[in-house]
Amino acid sequence: MNGVKTTAALGCATVLAFGLAGCGASFEGSGSKDAASAEQLALRADDPWAAEVAEDPSARVAGDVRDGVYTGRGRGMEGWITVTLLIDDGRLTCLETAQDGESQSRGGYEAIRDGVYAQMIEAAQGPDIDAVAGATITTAGVKQAVEDALAQAGAENMTDAAGDAAGADGAAGADAATADTAATDGATAEKEAESHE
């Protein structure tokens, strides 16, 4: 009787093993048909970062700018974005784009890390770059950082953006307002003192 039970158990185990083998995923590394389809689709989709940025080697920064290295900053989704520019004979070269506090889940993280924004800045020779899909706020922060750096180099029409970048946290703007108020109050007090004499 034990032999019959053992044979029956082995037979059931064999049938179960063959039955479960058919339930495995049909694509390596996936756990479901949907995951496999997404993986296959990703292999066929165009890489959004692979697009070449056309650059004109004769293009120059608009306006009169001083040669040198300038670092500007702009506000990203979760922190500051900095852009370091080299200006040599009116030609702009992006030395570095960096982010403080941006996470990988943000759309522009890869574009900063992979140098896509740097290529776009050099091609545009300024802040006039196209938005990266899914990274509208990051792109705006990059533009603001470029405008800030160019304002430091003496480019006209960049001072408003540079002031916004420097005073984004309100400290620079508050300090300037306090200094203006103090100067006005001092001048008023001096006039009053002269009139009472």
Instruction: With 0.75 as the threshold, say if the pTM is over it.
Output: no
Confidence (pLDDT) at 142: 95
For residues 11 and 117, what is the distance between their CA atoms, to the nearest angstrom? 64
Q: Under a CB-based contact definition with an 8 Å cutoff, are residues 77 and 106 in contact?
A: yes
Least confident of 32-36, 73-77, 180-184: 180-184
Answer whether residue 128 is part of any domain: yes
Answer whether residue 33 is part of any domain: no
Answer whether residue 158 is part of any domain: yes
Which CATH number fits the domain that encloses residue 109? 3.90.1010.20
Beta-strand runs (E) in 42-107: 68-75, 80-88, 91-99
* Overall average pLDDT of the 152-165 stretch: 62
Answer whether residue 37 is part of any domain: no
| Cβ-count burial 98-136 (b if 16+ within 10 Å, e if not) | ebeebeeebbbbebbeeebbbbbbbbbbbbebebbeebe
Answer whether residue 83 is part of any domain: yes
98 has which bridge partners? 82
Confidence (pLDDT) at 58: 79
For residues 72 and 95, what is the distance between their CA atoms, to the nearest angstrom? 12
Between 58 and 95, residue with greater pLDDT: 95
Between 11 and 152, residue with greater pLDDT: 152
Between 96 and 170, residue with greater pLDDT: 96
Give the number of domains in the chain.
1
pLDDT digits (tens, 9 = 90+) for 16-43: 666 666 555 554 544 555 555 656 655 6
Range of the domain at 86: 68-172
Answer whether residue 60 is part of any domain: no
Answer whether residue 133 is part of any domain: yes
